[in-house]
Amino acid sequence: MKKLLFCAVAFTGLVAASLRAGTETYKQVAPPPPPPTYGLGFYGALELGANVYQNLPSSRTFTQDNPNLPGFEDTLEVSPQHNVGFFGGLKFGYVFNPTGWVVRPTVELDSFYNGFNTDTNFTLRDPNGDVLRSSSSSNRLNSGVWLFNFILRLGPPTWQFQPYIGAGPGVYYAEGAGFTFNASNGAVFNTGGGRNHADFAFDVVAGADYFFSPKLSAFVEYKFLEYTSSQINTSQNRALGQQLVGAGVRYFFGPF
């Protein structure tokens, strides 16, 4: 009897252990964190670069065609030089993040200094083409620019690499530092200070950011900038177009 009772208890324990061994225990796994978002909200940026080209007037040749004056049929070649300049300034903007939009609008205030030398070479030749004398002049053009750009960022905010394009109107103030004239005999003449002018400007921009963190990026940018001459009473178009290439860093404070 005791043996039978012992066997029944042992069998019951074995069955219970087998049932427990066959039962799987499920643990609730936390969902993965959402991917980081880069470049949202307010930002400030510092940019430096080169003014690589200006559409200054092309070279021109003038001929003395009055036989009653000295130097008949002499020619004067005037050749403006396209010098590389420097620009640098600050940007302040805001990147919107509309739900579900891949292209995100951005508004930006771009303000910077822009300066370059306007060198011009003069060559006087006789009717046979021989050089009679040559000289040159130079003038430093300094300007400040303030632009309000509307920019489209291409791609969702989860991309670390974010290209963009944009354009916008603005104003500029330009001032010449004064001409330096170098004569062929070695003499140098200087003028004390040049004229100044303020007018409208506009630009077209294209660039890209690479984000090191959700709030910090480095960027490169191409900018076509045009200084208009709407405030000058002249029949000639004196607009100055420039091509600028720059790079900088951008810090995002985030949406508030």
Nearest-CA neighbor of 203 among 238, 231, 241? 241
What number of other Cβ atoms are within 10 A of residue 8's Cβ?
10
Angle at 219 between CA 205 and CA 106, to 5 degrees: 55
Given a cut of 80, whether residue 172 has pLDDT beyond it is: yes
What would the pLDDT profile of 193-229 be if each residue is shown by its tens digit? 667 888 999 999 999 999 999 999 999 999 999 998 8
Residue 4: the pLDDT is 45
CA separation for the pair 226, 86 (Å, rounded): 16
* Structure confidence at residue 148 (pLDDT): 97
Q: pLDDT tens-digit profile of 24-57?
A: 555 677 788 888 889 999 999 999 999 998 887 7
pTM above 0.85, yes or no: no
Average pLDDT score over residue span 106-127? 88
Q: What is the DSSP letter of 74?
A: -
254: phi > 0 → left, psi -120 to 50 → alpha, else beta; which?
left
pLDDT band (50, 70, 90) for residue 5: very low
Q: Band of the pLDDT at 71, cuts 50, 70, 90?
A: confident
Q: pLDDT class for 8, splitting at 50, 70, 90?
A: very low
**What three-state secondary structure class fits 8?**
helix
Contact of 248 with 45, CB cutoff 8 Å: yes
Would you say how long the chain is, in residues? 256
List the structure tokens of 101. Answer: 């939009």
Distance CA 60, CA 77 (A): 6
* Domains of the chain listed by start with CATH number: 40-254 (2.40.160.20)
Amino acid at 62: F
Residue with more model confidence, 16 or 96: 96
In this prediction, residue 184 has a pLDDT band, given cuts at 50, 70 and 90, of low
| pLDDT at res. 182 | 61
Considering only residues 10 and 95, tell me which one the structure prediction assigns the higher pLDDT. 95
Q: Which residue has the higher pLDDT, 247 or 12?
A: 247
SS3 annotation, 103-172: EEEEEEEEEEEEEEECCEEEEEECCCCCEEEEEEEEEEEEEEEEEEEEEEEECCCCCCEEEEEEEEEEEE
Residue % of the chain over a pLDDT of 90? 42
Q: Percentage of residues in the chain with pLDDT exceeding 70? A: 79
- Mean pLDDT for the chain overall: 81
Provide the pairing of β-strand 103-117 with 131-154: antiparallel
Question: How many angstroms separate the CA atoms of 186 and 231, rounded?
Answer: 38
Is residue 11 very low, low, confident or very high in pLDDT (cuts 50, 70, 90)? very low
